[in-house]
Amino acid sequence: MQFIMFTKHVQEYTVPQLVSALKGAGMDGADLCVRPGYPVTPENAPQKLKEVAKAFGEAGLSIPLITTPGEFTEPDGREVEPLFAACGQAGVKLVKLGYWTYSAGDYSAQLDSCRKKLAGFAVLGEKHGVKPVVHMHSGSTMGLNASAAMRLVEGLDPRSVGIFADPGHLAICGEPLHMAFNIIKDYAACFAFKDVVKLPVTRDRREVYTMRVRRLGEGIVDWHLAVKTILDLKLDSLPISIHCEYEGEPADSVVDLARVDLRYVKKLFAEIGGK
């Protein structure tokens, strides 16, 4: 089992600081945010990613997954193939793509367009030994839950594309977790672990609900069911990204909270797996 930390909210850390933080939190590696403003960006990845992966490896850590910008959705984009090539050279096997968003109009036509783009990413992935993955994300994204994500990947080779399953977003607009994980099991590539609640807010004098992240075990996700299903389906060899999306917290506090979240998850796996 491989537990990695999503580095989105420790943006200011240098690579040595990041390595030290991950080791201190008990992580096996990183879900490395490769975005503008981070140590590795889509622009500098051809020069930087292999160097960073080496530093991680020397510390006994790995980078099984990177997360690209939200607009990283066009396979013919200028930075795409160089980034895929850099991942292949650095030993990074999974690339989380950006988000295709549904806009008013013909869903089927938009789905066809997204599938063609995903197929283009798959070709590049096969060339460089990298698997692009679609993250389940609530809202108007084209992969908002297991059923929608499957419509994107179905018919494509599961060795070439995958799904990044996210119990937090599934708790907002998805299927029951044991059903969702069964739906995508052949394409499952990794998991994002974060807990959430839905809270009322006022917008334009109307009360609507918005998602807020909470510590694992303090939101609405059924973590017992999530872990049990992962074990039942024998998906526990896939990387689990502890997402620790604690926006507004200092970076050091994010790492502290990630350590607590990891302890919670490991305890669940030990208790359920030992039954």
Residues 6+ positions from 128 with CB-CB distance below 8 Å = 81, 84, 85, 87, 88
pLDDT of 225 strictly over 70: yes
Three-class secondary structure of residue 61 per DSSP: coil
Q: Cα separations (Å) of 256 from 66, 88, 110, 230?
A: 22, 31, 41, 26
Mean pLDDT of 149-155: 97
Residue 275's pLDDT is what? Answer: 60
pLDDT grade for 104, boundaries at 50, 70 and 90: confident
Strands 206-214 and 239-242: unpaired
**Two tokens at 257?**
């909270």
Mean pLDDT of 111-124: 98
Mean pLDDT of 222-236: 98
**CATH 3.20.20.70, domain 2-273, yes or no:** no
Mean pLDDT of 141-165: 97
pLDDT grade for 58, boundaries at 50, 70 and 90: very high
Instruction: Kindly report the length of the chain.
Output: 275
Mean pLDDT of 228-238: 98
Percent of the chain whose predicted confidence (pLDDT) is above 90: 94
Residue 1's pLDDT is what? Answer: 87
pLDDT grade for 259, boundaries at 50, 70 and 90: very high
Per-domain residue ranges of the chain: 2-273
pLDDT of 222 strictly over 90: yes
Among 137, 9, 166, which Cα is nearest to 70's?
137
Among 154, 125, 130, 124, which Cα is nearest to 142's?
154
pLDDT of 207 strictly over 90: no
pLDDT of 99 strictly over 90: yes
pLDDT grade for 30, boundaries at 50, 70 and 90: very high
Mean pLDDT of the chain: 96
Residue 244's pLDDT is what? Answer: 94
